[in-house]
Each structure stands twice: as structure tokens, then as C-alpha cells.
Amino acid sequence: MHMMFLWIILVGLIIYLVMVEYDKKGRDVIKIFDKRCPQCNNRIESDYKYCPICNEKLKTECRKCGKIVETSWKCCPFCGENIEK
Ligand SMILES: [Zn+2]
Ligand SMILES: [Zn+2]
């Protein structure tokens, strides 16, 4: 009975390690598709409003509906208003 308990822990540990490894790979895959500043090409987080490297404005509020839009977009996806920096 004690051996059985040890096996469950061991198998659980192996699954955990495999999952951690998979998570690391998953994050690496995400890194390939990460966002870059259109101005200086440095990596930026998707929730950044300004590029911390070159101070480029990345997001702005739509003039019409007030939703947060990216300055690289041509128009607001919520109301169709043209986006200006
Ligand atoms: Zn930048
Ligand atoms: Zn809008």
C-alpha cells in the first residue's frame, strides 16, 4: 500500500515536470508572435500605452466611442472612426 502511494507521488511529479517544460515551450512560441514597437522594433507588452524605449504612442482613445485602440490601426474596430495619433 505504501509503494502504491509512492508511485502516485512519482507519477504526479513526472506529469508536473512535463507540464512545466511544456509551459516554457508554450511561452517561447508566444514570444515569436509577440508585439513590437512600430517605431523602434523593441518588444512591448500588449497592454503598453507607450513604448518605454522610444516613447512612441502605441494606444489612444477613439475620438468617437472612447475605446482604447492601437495607433497602428487605420480605424476603430468598434465604431469605424479613423484613428489619429
Ligand atoms: Zn519604440
Ligand atoms: Zn470607436
Q: Which ligand is nearest to the CA of 67?
A: 2
Q: Which ligand is nearest to the CA of 57?
A: 1
Question: How close is the Cα of 82 to the center of ligand 2, in Å?
Answer: 8
Q: Which ligand is nearest to the CA of 65?
A: 2
Residues with CB under 5 A from ligand 2 (ion): 62, 64-65, 76, 78-79, 81
Give me Rg for the CA atoms of the chain.
Answer: 22
> What is the mean pLDDT, run by run of 10 residues, along the chain of 85 residues?
86 88 65 79 90 94 94 94 86
> Which pLDDT score, from 0 to 100, does residue 26 have?
66
> Which pLDDT score, from 0 to 100, does residue 47 have?
86
> Which pLDDT score, from 0 to 100, does residue 32 have?
57
The structure's pTM equals: 0.55
